[in-house]
Structure 1
């Protein structure tokens, strides 16, 4: 079975992220369900579904202007990784049983390693937003 090395996954992620534009953010959000279905239906990447949902949330909140405390390179890497999963003909074409999604898993893992701190910061912010915690509340709690 053909596997993807971490170096190839990083290169694929970098190449994809380099090309990301605002239009690609729209595309990622428009194809969210299709991309999530690929995560759900493939054992190689299904374990990343919760992280993918956070990645979509980050892009959605960035796109809407609700969350801008993140560098563009993080947004580009996340969008690039999600777009990579969407591509059927990538380093290992998706039609190859089992192996076809190993490269997707490698690219997602490389992305998560790269953006981990920014994604955790976003997730904390999101919890605060969902629970209505204000800056004043945070000061009082610390």
Structure 2
């Protein structure tokens, strides 16, 4: 991704982090995760974190929830920095967004892995 695409992705990420997430969105996200290559496991971890937070079993602050929700909505949205219908390149921005979310949430992810007994 070039700098312009990164800026567009970040703007869309910020916009999407304010959107409500539905059960249908979770199903789309789980389906689309197979296209995220090496970030698939990380994305699924983020999905599980937000689900556990919403059901009350794991506590996340509002900023962490917004980051995860933004990443999730960005991945499932057909409108993003590089359209998903472009073979290979269409998923690079989605992969980058998941990687960005993972880097911003390293402490929370570590806490979650301890909570779930994953290490």
1:101-138 C-alpha deviation (Å, 9 max, x unpaired): 1111221121111112111111111118xxxxxxxxxx
Hey, what does 2:96 align to over in structure 1? 106
Hey, what does 1:34 align to over in structure 2? 31
Hey, what does 1:73 align to over in structure 2? 63
Q: Structure 2: any 5+ residue segments left out of the alignment?
A: none
Q: Is the 8 A contact 2:29 2:76 kept in 1?
A: no
Is 1:13 paired with 2:13? yes
User: 1 CA distance for matches of 2:2 and 2:105?
Assistant: 20
- TM-score norm. by structure 1 comes to 0.70
1:64-114 C-alpha deviation (Å, 9 max, x unpaired): 11112x211111111210111111221111111222111112211211111
Q: Structure 1: any 5+ residue segments left out of the alignment?
A: 129-142
Greater Rg by CA: 1
Q: Give the Å deviation of 1:26.
A: 3.7
Which residues in structure 2 correspond to 1:1-142 (within 5 Å)? 3-5=1-3, 6-17=6-17, 19-21=18-20, 24=21, 26-36=23-33, 40-41=34-35, 45-68=36-59, 70-127=60-117
Q: Is the 8 A contact 1:9 1:110 kept in 2?
A: no
- TM-score norm. by structure 2 comes to 0.82
Q: Is the 8 A contact 1:25 1:79 kept in 2?
A: no
Q: What is the root-mean-square deviation of aligned Cα atoms in Å? A: 2.1
User: 2 CA distance for matches of 1:9 and 1:112?
Assistant: 15
Change (3 A) 1:10 1:60: same
